[in-house]
Amino acid sequence: MNIATRTSLEQLQFDNRSLAALPVDPVTENRRRQVTGAINCLVTPTPCPAPALVAMAHEVAGLLGLDEAVCQSDRFARVFAGNELLPGMQPHATCYGGHQFGNWAGQLGDGRAINLGEVVTDAGRLMLQLKGAGETPFSRTADGLAVLRSSVREFLCSEAMHHLGVPTTRALSLCTTGQGVWRDMFYDGRAKQEPGAVVCRVAPTFLRFGHFEILAARRETELLAQLVDFTIREYFPDIAATASGREAVLLWFAEVCDRTAAMIVEWTRVGFVHGVMNTDNMSILGLTIDYGPYGWLDNYDADWTPNTSDPGGRYCFRNQAPIAQWNLLQLANAIHPLIGEAAPLEACLNAFASTYTRRAETMMAAKLGLVQFDEPLVQSLLALFAATEVDMTLFYRQLGQGDASELSPERLAEAFYQPGEAHRCAVWLDQYRATLTAQGVNEADRRSVMRRTNPAFLPRNYLVQQAIDDAEAGDFRQLHRLMDAARRPYSDDHPPELLARRPDWARERAGCSQLSCSS
Ligand code: AMP
Ligand code: MG
């Protein structure tokens, strides 16, 4: 069947490979428990009172081969808010553990995520996952629900990241549930009811480092070997085709290191701070996953993290690469029993550092439109960023506009939060021009590379907060506006208010620069 012709939801074809290949917990009762000897637990999403579709990504519907009209039906909202199952769906939650803020946290698992099944598409199988559709055996002390605020953030950002060219899980839909959800957003004892929502996320798999760690921690070595083997076969077929046994595991780990490095370089390019880089939030495919208290750098501050639960800045912008390496070390420890010696795993971890540096240098060269990375030039730019309050996004974008010979502090003034600080970039601009000349950079090439590397539009923290404020009042127009803009991040053709630097009122406002984990 030509996949693009699916005109009803029944035509979605499921092939739930991970459920078929990996052990399922025999307990089917939905009660909190430690789940051993299994990866998957069968669960049923909890129906909500009034499912309503409020936003969707037609690109993701397209990946699934779904006709747009199908997505506007009441049935679509019922299915993707968790009220109805389609033939072939087998809802299940998965068991994982994780290191949270550097400490082993034991079993975590899909506490409010429910995999519905794997849709067969032209581009391979894609797992559909509801976030916020009710309790699972992994819900611990929480309710399995999600609020509209955090769901808007996840929906928008995952699609924005995709259009920016950053590896990420996708989002098909955002449905409101008509159910109030109690949250103490500031953790100050003033809980209030917020509107509930469900996002349907889409990715080849939602396996995380933590899925492997929990099995190692419990010494379930056979199951660990089975999961690793499954992962390589299903998601890394090139490795499975050329290697087997221990050799395949090492090639796979090297590939995970490489993809993770590539992902962090992309975060750095666009100024993204994940906020909660616990090992349970690290995708085995090198995708950005679990959008919680994330944020974008407005004024460039490498020590910044939006997460109010991280006062020490463990997961701040500048720490993302070393933390990724630390997380990979935890994954290496987990798979060590399958390798039997540390040296080859250590070699991969060391290669992470060199791969990251090489990729980051290439990326920085592109941000500046250079042919080659120039260390002193980049160092003095970062020193300028540290000494002044510069909007990273505006600075790079404007640097790539107009002829290099005409670049001046006045032309870059918009990027500076403190008027009067712009003149401080004059010396650096001279250094930049000298480098362009020394490298023989072609001016047209420079601008075109910079246009493709430096986004004009990002769903900045304060813009998303405005969309949330409106959405909570039942008005989704700002959300749709941001979603439209997020589809064309490298175009300048947007309303000026979407491209402006963060206004002063948003500097300290909750949701705009500081976010709690409450979601
Ligand atoms: P997070 O901080 O969102 O990455 O979540 C860490 C762990 O807490 C995961 O196991 C989540 O499934 C679980 N969790 C977070 N929020 C909830 C919730 N409202 N209900 C159930 N489990 C949750
Ligand atoms: Mg998580």
pLDDT recorded at residue 510 = 85
Best CA proximity match to 37, nearest among 117, 95, 90: 95
Q: Which ranges in 57-113 belong to alpha helices (H)?
A: 58-63, 68-71, 74-80
Residues 29-84: tens digit of each pLDDT = 999 999 999 999 999 999 999 999 999 999 999 999 999 899 999 999 999 999 99
Q: Please tell me the residue having the least CA distance from ligand 1 atom 13.
A: 111
Ligand 1 pocket member 110 (CB < 6 A): yes
Closest atom, ligand 1, to C-alpha of 145: 19
Q: At 296, phi and psi to the nearest 5? A: -110, 145
pLDDT recorded at residue 3 = 57
pLDDT recorded at residue 419 = 84
Clarify whether 67 is annotated catalytic.
no
How many whole angstroms separate alpha carbon 65 and alpha carbon 282?
28
**The two three-digit tokens of residue 171, written as one number:** 């989002």
Ligand 1 pocket member 290 (CB < 6 A): yes
Which of 280, 290, 374, 391 is labelled catalytic?
280
Ligand 1 pocket member 292 (CB < 6 A): yes
Return the ligand number nearest the Cα of 94: 1
| Ligand 2 centroid – CA 280 distance (Å) | 6
Best CA proximity match to 269, nearest among 355, 352, 366: 366
Ligand 1 pocket member 400 (CB < 6 A): no
pLDDT recorded at residue 4 = 60
Return the ligand number nearest the Cα of 107: 1
| Ligand 1 centroid – CA 138 distance (Å) | 8
For the chain, the residue count is: 519
Ligand 1 pocket member 111 (CB < 6 A): yes
Residues of the chain with pLDDT under 70: 1-4
| Ligand 2 centroid – CA 125 distance (Å) | 23
